[in-house]
Amino acid sequence: MSNAKGKHTSGPWKVYHALLRPQFSGHKIIEIQSDHGEPIVTWAGFDNSDRLKKTHLANARLMAAAPTMLRMMKAAKPILANFCESDENRKLYDEFCNAIAKAEGRR
């Protein structure tokens, strides 16, 4: 899939976590994969990093959920626009819209 216009790979995405080949002596790989098993993001050798494995997996799960979250946020945007009567709600709505724009590369 060509991303010439800077669009993300469509979801859903999933987390894949396994040992690398034996010659890499116990190192693990964490990938974010498309629903067809194609790698989207790959990290190798996390066992030697300063972060805990649980943190790496939590980060990977959050990234894998991103396409679904973006789709749901875009679907909720017109509904939420109806609840911006107060300054506080308007500020939250603006932050919500900025998060969508950031995910789409417009911020």
Cα–Cα distance measured from residue 69 to residue 85, given in angstroms and rounded to the nearest whole number: 25
43 pLDDT band, cuts 50/70/90, is confident
**For a pLDDT cut of 90, what percent of the chain falls above it?**
37
- Which position has the higher pLDDT, 104 or 52? 104
Domain range list for the chain: 13-103
Give how far Cα 14 sits from Cα of 46, 49, 57, Å: 18, 22, 11
What's the CA gap between 94 and 83, in Å, rounded?
A: 12
- More confident position, 37 or 92: 92
The sheet carrying 39-44 orders its strands as 13-19, 28-34, 39-44
Model confidence band, residue 67 (pLDDT cutoffs 50, 70, 90): very high
Average pLDDT over residues 54-66: 86
Is the pLDDT reported for residue 22 higher than 70? no
User: Given a cut of 50, is residue 50 above it in pLDDT?
Assistant: yes
- Helix extents (H) in 38-86: 53-80
> What pLDDT score does 93 carry?
96
Please check the confidence at residue 52 and state whether its pLDDT lies above 60. Answer: yes
